[in-house]
Amino acid sequence: MNAVIPIHTEASRRPAKGGGLRGRQASAAARQAIAALLGDAPRRRDLLIEHLHRIQDAQGHLSVDMLAALAEEMRLSQAEVHEVASFYHHFDIVYEGGEAPPALTLRVCNSLSCAIAGSAALSQQLRALLAEQSGVRVLEVPCVGRCEQAPVAVIGRRALGRASAASAMQLLQQGESEDLRPSHQPLADYLSGGGYRVLDELLDGSRSIEQTIQTLSESGLRGLGGAGFPLGRKWSIVRAQPAPRLMAVNIDEGEPGTIKDRHYLEREPHVFLEGMLIAAHCVGAESIYVYLRDEYHALRDTLAEEIQALQATRSGLPAIELRRGAGAYICGEESAMIESIEGKRGWPRQRPPYVAERGLFGRPTLQHNIESLHWVRAILERGADWFATQGRHGRQGLRSFSLSGRINKPGVHLAPAGITARELIDEYGGGMLAGHQLYGYFPGGASGGILPADLADVPLDFDTLQAHGCFIGSAAVIVFSDQDSARALALNAMEFFEHESCGQCVPCREGTQRAVELMRQPVWDQPLLEDLATVMADASICGLGQAAPNPLRCALRYFPQEFANV
């Protein structure tokens, strides 16, 4: 991978006042271990999370001695290092007198799709089976991005889909802990099918930047990570900003129910990479940062190899740096992701200024989701009308729906924008499971709200669901049946938001915690919950706290029968 020197960094190698080092003094052994682990890697402030991963990978945890040595090596205060290490869920800090975690961790996803599929019972069974076995711990964790395979257990770094207690125990006995590498289209095959031809036309001048942006604007392509901002307009805004400009790609799809980024990257990584490089060229981005969620271990290796192959065969590309998340849903928010890339806690920024004006390292930044970039090559080859004329019920374009829950064919389904949930289930999802009747669905993951079966004929697209208190977001449709409880699923969603709140603002931090407490009660205090939801939606800094009340409000609005006799 090309080394990337940030255009702007904080004062990252400052000694303590008077030339000494403050706080705990690291042991000689820890200093030697850190020097060996980091090797010749730069000690830049923005690489702090990457270096924390090196320690965690090597030792299975982060000791305070190693954190102190890392702070010395990077010339950071111990407070700076500790606040970052303690923010992310995937770092295990062991304090003095504490015990290191077991050598192997078995994680059971407890988010919506897996909860519907029985993950709570699976977790209980595994805990009972492993109660007397040392060296293994069982943790219930939020969504691991494999909702079509629910319930999912992750053993070490090996994901086990449609897991049972028996299959998990068998895998444990085999000692397999590394995830299987996906079978993807390599660079040579992509090139043989005309890959990178559109990029080459831009680079040699036979295709103009202005016409490229115009075509994408006419197609109606919008940001498909959830916000829905018109893609062509975003490129024009960033391109008009003063140089140097940067680009950041968000592959931290932590929204429960969302699997489309992994689906495409495991199959056709170069479709995304070409779209990314086209975008970078059109806005004049000098460097690209790709932020990938930590749960996708094998996919990270695949992406790194394909980027290296691309750089080895083509000159003049922008520097591309692949960054690793550390288990924080909040980093799906664009400014929180940028903070994380800079090596900080994933705290969302106040806006304005917007990321397009002042993003990574204080520079104008183009931020995109995978699916938005996935469509760029096809639209430019086939024309704006090809994409714009797709759609149903008066809507335009195609959407990659992550479909999971009580249906026969869960997975990513490419369907017309504006398709209804009923049509999506029947035509693409193979219908409801035997013995199950459609009761309701989440149209946009945990944050998108909940709709009942009698609203399953509403078109699924941007701007079609707001009147019902919902939104489509990343098009993660989670289907549940008459054997499920909307009340219980709304609580599951709120528990997720409580766990993933970054803690920066009071309305979200305290609001999600208080909401969970109230929703766990036999009788919901509906007026108090509604007041709480209003404060969270109106006063939270970012979309997490603003959207967290959606499932709660929808459960009360559309499923009153679940509260009538309680």
Per-residue DSSP letter, 161: T
Amino acid at 37: L
Beta strands 93-94 and 62-63, pairing class: parallel
As a dihedral over the C-alpha atoms of residue 44, residue 45, residue 50, residue 52, rounded to 10 degrees, the angle is 120
Q: What is the rounded (10 degree) CA torsion for 154, 84, 514, 329? A: -50
Nearest to 48 by CA among 9, 3, 7, 105: 9
pTM comes to: 0.94
pLDDT for res 119: 98
pLDDT by position in tens, the chain (length 566): 444 444 444 444 444 444 455 578 999 999 999 999 999 999 999 999 999 999 999 999 999 999 999 999 999 999 999 999 999 999 999 998 899 999 999 999 999 999 999 999 999 999 999 998 889 999 999 999 999 999 999 999 999 999 999 999 999 988 867 888 889 999 999 999 999 999 999 999 999 999 999 999 999 999 998 888 999 999 999 999 999 999 999 999 999 999 999 999 999 999 999 999 999 999 999 999 999 999 999 999 999 999 999 999 999 999 999 999 999 999 999 999 999 999 999 999 999 999 999 999 999 999 999 999 999 999 999 999 999 999 999 999 999 999 999 999 999 999 999 999 999 999 999 999 999 999 999 999 999 999 999 999 999 999 999 999 999 999 999 999 999 999 999 999 999 999 999 999 999 999 999 999 999 999 999 999 999 999 999 999 999 999 999 999 999 999 999 998 65
> How many Cα atoms sit within 13 Å of 541 on the Cβ side?
19
Beta bridge pairs of residue 291? 250, 323
- Give the separation between CA 225 and CA 130, rounded to whole angstroms: 39
In a 13 Å sphere around the CA of 271, the CA atoms on its Cβ side amount to 20
Residue-wise pLDDT tens digits, 80-116 = 999 999 999 999 999 988 999 999 999 999 999 999 9
pLDDT, position 201: 97
From the centroid of its chain, how far is CA 44?
Answer: 25
Neighbours of 566 (CB within 10 A): 9
Q: Which residues make Cβ contacts (< 8 Å) with residue 528, sequence separation at least 6? A: 518
Report the pLDDT value the prediction gives residue 20, as an integer from 0 to 100: 52
Give exposure, 481-493, as e/b (b: 16+ Cβ within 10 Å).
beebbbbebbbbb
Kindly list the structural domains of the chain, giving each domain's residue range(s) and its CATH number in brackets, ordered by start.
1-18+28-100 (1.10.10), 104-174 (3.40.30.10), 187-382 (3.40.50.11540), 398-481 (3.10.20.600), 486-562 (1.20.1440.230)
What b/e sequence results for 185-216 when a residue is b if at least 16 CB atoms lie within 10 Å of its CB, and e otherwise?
bebeebeeeebbebbebbbeeebebeebbebb
Which pLDDT belongs to residue 177?
74
Question: Encoding tokens for residue 120?
Answer: 């709570």
Residue 427 backbone dihedrals phi, psi, to 5 degrees: -85, -30
Dihedrals phi, psi of 420, to nearest 5 degrees? -90, 165
